[in-house]
Amino acid sequence: MKICVIGGGGAIGGYLAVMLARAGNEVTVVARGTTLAAVKERGLALIMDDQPEPLVAHVKAVEKIADVETPDVIMLAVKAHQVDPIIHDLAAIMGPETVLIPMQNGIPWWYFQKLAGEYQDHSVETVDAGGVAKKAINPNNIIGCVVYPATFTQAPGVIRHVEGNRFPLGELDGKPTERIQKISEVMAAAGFKSPILEDIRSEIWLKLWGNMTFNPISALTHGTLEGICQYPLTKELARNMMAEAQSVAEKLGVTFRVDIERRIAGAEKVGKHKTSMLQDLEAGRSLEIDALLGSAIELGQITQTPTPCLNAVFALTKYLDENVQASKGSLALPSVSGY
């Protein structure tokens, strides 16, 4: 397939680009600055613990989305707040059959599109102010995806894989189409696990359940996943936040295949791991708080569901982020994408 990875020099985008290119697909990555230069000169390199040498893929690399030939599939591997500035350039390279796979954490802009029921076609203002993305991209071109692997950028054009290879996929209306079957097969041939789900939104909530809880708590406390889950007060806060989120999600027809205690236990087993939000904080980078928590609070407002714990943690983390962005005085660390 002809595949474009936007954010192809980043942690998740680079991982996808290397594996898909080595599986025989025609891959183009959109990157910038030193990453673009490195990819053009040496290709993209992926370091994996089970491989004695880095896996290298020589892919086409461009700086501008406009320079990409219309692909079969676009993988949008940038953070949620980076979507709006590029959405019209993205729409311009899409053909009528091009499939767009957004890979952002949190509630996506397309969440209510093709969702049967009273909330169909509602906008998610927190991640798509004014409905810009919703208007620019035809929902018929979108396939949903949840990103589970943990990776980080070790150097420009060099990605280190930490763990995981799951990228579940789902049509927005849950139908088992021919195109999603083909993409799932292409992903499998590249070494990924991409099961086709009838209800991709429930999978989004399952991952978000942890991200929206442990990420901001870790940023506020500088605690690891293990520490947050073992300290009684933060564990109770996490439990209350997850209960509020579950109430919101269930009003939208979402089902959770695990319960709160099992989800917390799973996070604890990860160990003394810093969440990506804590690492972003320590590096002085902008926090994904709107996509991970603000969007869930907005859905609570839409469904008239009280979210007092979510609101309080959001307010504190949002203010923390604004202070960090104003000062920019922290030590840079690699950011792990996944948790």
Q: How many domains does the chain have?
A: 2
Residue 255's CB is within 10 A of a number of other CB atoms, namely 11
The pLDDT, as a whole number, for residue 327 is 85
Residues 127 and 19 in one domain: yes
The pLDDT, as a whole number, for residue 111 is 97
- Interhelix angle 200-221/308-327, nearest 10 degrees: 60
Residues 6+ apart with CB under 8 A from 220: 313, 316, 317, 320
Question: Domain containing 274: what range?
Answer: 201-323
What residue type is 60 in one-letter code?
A: K
Residues 309 and 207 in one domain: yes
Entry pTM:
0.92
- Residue length of the chain: 339
Q: How confident is the prediction along the chain (339 residues), in pLDDT tens digits per residue? A: 999 999 998 999 999 999 999 999 999 999 999 999 999 999 999 999 989 999 999 999 999 999 999 999 999 999 898 999 999 999 999 999 999 999 999 999 999 999 988 999 999 999 999 999 999 999 999 999 999 998 889 999 999 998 899 999 999 999 999 999 999 999 999 999 999 999 999 999 999 999 999 999 999 999 999 999 999 999 999 999 999 999 999 999 999 999 999 999 999 988 888 888 998 899 898 999 999 999 999 999 999 999 999 999 999 999 999 999 998 754 444 555 554
329 within domain boundaries: no
CATH code at position 65:
3.40.50.720
The pLDDT, as a whole number, for residue 330 is 46
Residues 181 and 230 in one domain: no
The pLDDT, as a whole number, for residue 337 is 55
99 within domain boundaries: yes
Euclidean distance between CA atoms 14 and 17, whole angstroms: 5
338 within domain boundaries: no
Residues 66 and 9 in one domain: yes
The pLDDT, as a whole number, for residue 152 is 87
Residues 174 and 67 in one domain: yes
209 within domain boundaries: yes
Annotated catalytic residue 207: yes
Residues 6+ apart with CB under 8 A from 65: 6, 30, 86, 89, 90, 92, 93
Which of residues 198, 228, 252 is at a domain's end? 198
Residues 168 and 260 in one domain: no
Residues 37 and 153 in one domain: yes
Residues 173 and 156 in one domain: yes
The pLDDT, as a whole number, for residue 54 is 95
Point out the catalytic residue in the list 2, 182, 207, 251.
207
